[in-house]
Structures are given as structure tokens and as C-alpha cells.
Amino acid sequence: MQEIERKFLVTGDYKNDAFKAQRITQGYLNSAPERCVRVRIKGEQGFLTIKGISDAAGLSRFEWEREIPVAEAQALLALCEPGVIDKTRYLVKAGLHTFEVDEFYGDNAGLVVAEVELTSVDEAFAKPSWLGEEVTGDKRYYNSQLMQQPYSLWSR
């Protein structure tokens, strides 16, 4: 139940390499860093996820997730803290790994972030040409933070 991932900004074209795209809507019942509780609708599926606090490098944290009926996820979304995340997730294969590339909408429009899940913190992985600056551990890019401090409000 430990999630290990690295996160990057996206600087090039990845959509031609994507083998799947799915719209995601998510909100947070609790966005405290110690225990985020997320409700997500991904396509026609609902999910409830609990995440613990990240390690010092932002690479690893506890994650528990269960599928729930989409009607229950919709009801729970109505109870969430203000600030819903709306995005399309593209799945892109690169070497032995699959990157999840999220293109955000609404108050986070213009932000595109890629994540790759690993089995260990030092696992090697292929870096596609569209992968930009690494932002692993930068809390501003956590979805729970993007709902509170959207990308459109950042000073560039």
C-alpha cells in the first residue's frame, strides 16, 4: 500500500503516443497533508482513496484505494471541500513504464503534468522527449493543493 512515483511537467507532444484517454473529476473530503481523502469519478467508475503524508523527498507515501459505485462517488463529491479538479488523463507507454499525463481544465487550465509509478525509489525508467522539469516533492503540484491554490492564480 505504498505509492512511489515521480512527477514532471510536460513540454512536448505526448497525445500521439497515448493509448488511452479518460476524463477525471475529483474532490477531497479531507485535504490535510497527513491524510488526504479523495473521491474520484474516472469515466464510469467511482473511487475512494486515502493518501498519507509524503516522505521528505516527496517520492513515497501510503495509498489505499477502493472502487465504489459511481452514484456513491457523485453523492460524496457533493460533500467535498471547495475546488473540484477536472482533467483528462492520457496513458502513454515509455519503455517498461506507463506515464499518466494529466491535462487540467478550469482554474488549472494550462497545466500538464506526467507521473510515473515505480517499484522502488531508485528504479530506472525511460524518459520520453516530451518530459520536462521534474517537480516530484513540489507540493504545489499535488492535486489536493491545486484545488486550494489553482494554477491560474500562481504568479509566473
Helices (H) and strands (E) in the chain, counts: 2, 9
Cα separation values, 97 from 6, 91, 125, 127, 144, Å: 12, 10, 7, 10, 25
Pairing of strands 60-68, 85-94: unpaired
Active-site positions?
28
Cα-Cα end-to-end distance for the chain: 36
